[in-house]
Homo-oligomer: A and B are copies of this chain.
Amino acid sequence: MSGQDAAAKLQAFKAYIRKMKQYEEAIALIYWDMRTGAPKKGIETRSEVVGELSTEVFRMSTSEEMGGYLDFFMQEEELAKLDDITRKMVLECKKEYDRSKKIPAEKYQAYVVLTSQAESAWEDAKHQSDWASFQPYLEKIVATTQEFIELWGYEGHKYNTLLDMYEPGMTVEKLDEVFGALREKAVPLLQRIQAAPQPKREFLDQQFDIAKQKQFSLSILKQMQYDFEAGRLDETVHPFATALNPGDVRITTRYLPNDITSALFGTIHEGGHALYEQNISKDLVGTNLCTGTSMGIHESQSRFWENVIGRSKAFWERYYGELQSTFSGQIDDIDVDTFYKAINHIEPSLIRIEADELTYNLHIMIRYELEKGLFAGTLSVADLPQAWNAKYEEYLGVTPGNAGEGVLQDVHWSGGAFGYFPSYALGNMYAAQFTHTLRKEMPDFEAYIAQGNLAPIKDWLTDKIYQYGKSQTPNEIVQRVTGEELNPDYLVAYLEEKYKAVYGI
């Protein structure tokens, strides 16, 4: 093949990828619309629209045309000729293509139907705390996933193949190491905290006007450098961020009238996800690399902004006065230190999504241990509730009263999303590790926060992380930015320093 032909093939390949991205953008807009205000009577027909477009994207990703591009560009000498970005595009496509092609179409179709039924069965089961009605679905999902793992292939632990879907390159070996180190310090820290007196919090228990909550959330987003010309904030039941393209990254939140912190920290959290996507390099638009590199790195950004910035003392030294005047008359007699301690109180609980910065990691480790057991064959689905409760008692010292607040609390398993949970705790670890480097490289870090000057922080993250999108792996990013692999010690040090001060222990 002449160089000219190869150039034409490359152009066609890129146009093909761009077309897939365009379909995905349309689908993402439809989902955003369905979750923010689409009239309910139109949903059934709209779902068919999503189905049609998604089918087309899947068809394109596994088509003969795609296969032809990959056969050609995966040849060693052709791959070597490509620039770095294009090579990454090809490798990313190849990974997806292989994964999709290895599952027979009818088997995948049956799995889609199964998980769709299972999600609906899970909702009922959770509502009624009825584990028995959900168990058969979960057994089928685990069995099918086991089959898929055999078809996909795996290195080392079978669960590695699942982890890799959400956190490319992550393994059981690595997770055992980092989670082990974290747990070893987190559990005793938690015990010391529990022995100390709890901060005053009852002033949080009052009605906060929703229009004012919204106004305050918007002003914080603006301070964070969230670009409102490249996004918007809407309301929804289950908040999320969605990147349609880097010029349109939308976030959603939910205001609770009796809770000032839920919408505020939720908005900062989603705003962190959004900053990542808004600041991906324009050069990656229309490629399959124009997205965050992994669930874990994405979560590191939402949690960095929510916790490292939003739950810091410096942040509230700057913004607490504004919060007080926004809710004039409601928290006038509460000083900033009291407020700061209240929003950082630690308490073991049963429900993951309500957990604090410290115990959240333990909720995740429990799920990780259980998933690992399911795919190692050392734990059966039937034994899950008992194993769940035992782990909660061991790690957190609490025991669920029923399956609804125990093993049935999360939607993930009903959709077959095994390997996803670790991302949340990885996010906390990555965030602490990035923060360590950031503090070293930006000695005025705290001062900037205390001044409400968050732009240099956003610029540093853009420079180091955001701009690259998916063109670098999580490990490449962590190594380049911090000079070492993922290391849980930074999170341990951050938690110990912060909570020793908060609790005076």
Give the interface of A toward B (CB within 8 A).
Answer: 18-19, 22-23, 25-26, 29-30, 33, 37-46, 48-49, 52-53, 227-232, 244-248, 250, 285-286
Contacts and interface: CB of A to CB of B under 8 A. Distances in A.
Contacts of A25: 45-46, 49
Given A39-B230, A42-B248, 9 more contacts: A22-B53, A29-B29, A29-B33, A37-B232, A39-B231, A39-B232, A41-B227, A41-B229, A42-B247
29 contacts: A18-B48, A22-B48, A22-B49, A23-B49, A23-B52, A23-B53, A25-B46, A25-B49, A26-B30, A26-B49, A26-B53, A29-B29, A29-B30, A37-B232, A38-B248, A39-B228, A39-B232, A40-B247, A41-B230, A41-B248, A42-B230, A42-B244, A42-B248, A43-B247, A45-B286, A46-B244, A46-B245, A46-B248, A48-B286
Query: For the complex, would chain A's binding face be called helix, strand, loop or mixed by DSSP majority?
Result: helix
Contacts of A41: 227, 229-230, 246-248
Contacts of A229: 39-41
Contacts of A231: 39
Given A39-B228, A230-B39, A232-B37, A248 B45 contact: yes
A247 B285 contact: no
Nearest to A230: B41
Nearest to A49: B22
B26 A247 contact: no
Contacts of A53: 22-23, 26
A19 B52 contact: yes
Contacts of A52: 19, 22-23
Nearest to A38: B248
B42 A245 contact: yes
Nearest to A285: B45
Contacts of A49: 22-23, 25-26
A459 to B, nearest CB: 18
A221 to B, nearest CB: 13
Closest 6 CB pairs of A and B: A42-B248, A41-B247, A42-B247, A41-B230, A45-B245, A22-B52
A218 to B, nearest CB: 14
A247 B43 CA distance: 8
A45 B48 CA distance: 24
A46 B247 CA distance: 9
A462 to B, nearest CB: 15
A41 B33 CA distance: 19
Nearest to A27: B26
A19 B52 CA distance: 7
Best-buried of A37, A232, A247 by chain B (most CB within 10 Å): A247
A245 to B, nearest CB: 4
Contacts of A38: 248
A462 B29 CA distance: 32
A159 B165 CA distance: 60
A271 to B, nearest CB: 14
A320 to B, nearest CB: 30
